DNA sequence: CAACTTCGTCAGCAGTGGCTAACGTTAGCG
DNA sequence: CGCTAACGTTAGCCACTGCTGACGAAGTTG
């Protein structure tokens, strides 16, 4: 299927971050703005591969590009992580509530033998 | 190449979350504990597919499984998101600092440069 | 203009991963 | 015991994607 539904920012960001090399790139240019060539030099894959990663990251809004002559300077764009944080916080909150609910339920019921991890 | 590096919790969690269906499952059982069959019924793919997703989520620590007779009850396990949050917060912080730095630089400082290798 | 630098894009290949159908496993019931 | 319910597991198919090498585009210099 080549069908691609409506553009989903969260899905895009998550898919982009699922690739270890892309996370490394994001970390690299989170502290410093760098030209594509220097970013590529930091890894052991071809410049082409890094360029494709940069394209992906830029497309999904996780990277900012600025041109200077023939060079293209990149730096990570924190706003792109907003929705992802929202998703995580939401999931986190709900899951914690559910966990609390189960604990209370367990506390009020007659002996329910079970070893639940304490994390 | 079948090279598999050391188990990386962050990578595992991120790869698991990159799949839309798995995120939907996590959301579904974030609010309430549910048996596999009921989770599968909530989607239009086969029970097999959902079962595989459940296995993945459980393996990477994002899901908690509890057996009751022939049934298996699942619920989202928020602790599994800890490292992911850490990663995001770290990246977010660094990127924001860099953004601030660039603004200051633009306000009057000469250009910056250098930086080589990266992790 | 040509030559060179910096970088993106295209084609094709190989590995990954989600999916279905068929089968195996475990628990409860009569 | 057989029978059923509720699951997980396996084999294989097919789309997706990260990779390399070749090529093209754009900007700078002489």
Residue that wins the pLDDT comparison between B111 and A57? A57
Question: What pLDDT does B117 receive?
Answer: 35
Segments making up each domain of chain B, as ranges: 9-77, 81-118
Residue that wins the pLDDT comparison between B62 and A9? B62
Give the tens place of pLDDT for each residue, A58-92.
Answer: 999 999 999 999 999 999 998 988 889 989 999 98
Could you tell me if A33 and A67 are in contact, meaning their C-beta atoms sit under 8 angstroms apart? no
| Cα B64 versus chain centre, distance | 15
Secondary structure (3-state) at B101: helix
> What ranges in chain B are assigned the alpha helix state H?
9-17, 20-31, 36-41, 47-59, 82-108
Q: From the alpha carbon of A44, which nucleotide's C1' atom is closest?
A: D19
Q: pLDDT category, B96, cuts 50, 70, 90?
A: confident
Secondary structure (3-state) at B58: helix
Residue B63 above 80 pLDDT? yes
Residue A7 above 80 pLDDT? no
A37 vs A24: CA distance, rounded Å: 15
Domain covering A9-77 assigned CATH 1.10.10.10 in the classification = yes
B19 touches strand C (CB under 7 A): yes
Dihedral (CA of B26, B30, B36, B37) sign: negative
**Facing residue for A78 by CB, picked from B8, B27, B96:** B96
**Residues (20-49, chain A) with CB within 7 Å of strand C atoms:** 35-38, 47-48
Residue A3 above 60 pLDDT? no
Dihedral (CA of A4, B14, A80, B109) sign: negative
The residue among B18, B100, B12, B10 whose CA lies nearest residue A84 is B18
Question: What pLDDT does A112 receive?
Answer: 35
Q: What is the mean pLDDT of residues A26-33?
A: 96
Give the tens place of pLDDT for each residue, A83-101.
Answer: 899 899 999 888 888 777 6
CA A51 to C1' D16, in angstroms, rounded, equals: 19
Mean pLDDT for all residues in chain A: 84
Burial of B82 (0-12, 13-18, 19+ CB in 10 A): middle
Q: Which of residues 14-43 of A touch B (CB under 8 A)?
A: 14-15, 17-18, 20, 23-24, 26-34, 38, 41-43
Q: Which residues touch strand D (CB under 7 A)?
A: A 1-4, 15, 18-19, 21, 45-46, 48-49, 52-53, 56, 69-70; B 35-38, 47-48, 51-52, 54-55, 65, 70-72
B19 vs A17: CA distance, rounded Å: 12
B9 vs B107: CA distance, rounded Å: 41
Residue B100 above 80 pLDDT? no
Dihedral (CA of B105, B106, B110, B113) sign: positive
Mean pLDDT for all residues in chain B: 84
Residue B116 above 60 pLDDT? no
Question: What pLDDT does B102 receive?
Answer: 56
B9-17 helix and B47-59 helix, angle to the nearest 10 degrees: 150
Residue that wins the pLDDT comparison between B103 and A12? A12
**Facing residue for A99 by CB, picked from B78, B85, B99:** B78
Read off the pTM.
0.84
Question: What pLDDT does B3 receive?
Answer: 52
3-state secondary structure chain A: CCCCCCCCHHHHHHHHHCCHHHHHHHHHHHHCCEEHHHHHHCCCCCHHHHHHHHHHHHHCCCEEEEEECCEEEEEECHHHHHHHHHHHHHHHHHHHHHHHHHHHHHHHCCCCCCCCCCC
Query: Which chain C positions have some atom within 7 A of a protein CB?
Result: 5-11, 15-22, 26-28
Give the tens place of pLDDT for each residue, B69-87.
Answer: 999 999 999 898 888 998 9
Percent of chain B with pLDDT over 90: 60
Are the Cβ atoms of B95 and A18 closer than 8 angstroms? no
């Amino acid at each position: 299927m080549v069908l691609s539904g409506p553009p989903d920012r969260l899905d895009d960001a998550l898919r982009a971050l699922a690739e270890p090399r892309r996370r490394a790139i994001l970390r690299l240019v989170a502290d410093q703005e760098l030209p594509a060539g220097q970013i590529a030099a930091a890894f052991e894959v071809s410049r082409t591969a890094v360029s494709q990663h940069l394209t992906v990251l830029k497309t999904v809004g996780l990277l900012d590009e600025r041109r200077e002559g023939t060079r293209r300077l990149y730096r990570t764009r924190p706003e792109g992580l907003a929705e992802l944080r929202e998703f995580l916080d939401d999931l986190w909150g709900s899951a914690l509530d559910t966990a609390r609910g189960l604990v209370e339920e367990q506390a009020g019921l007659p002996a329910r033998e079970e070893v639940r991890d304490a994390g």
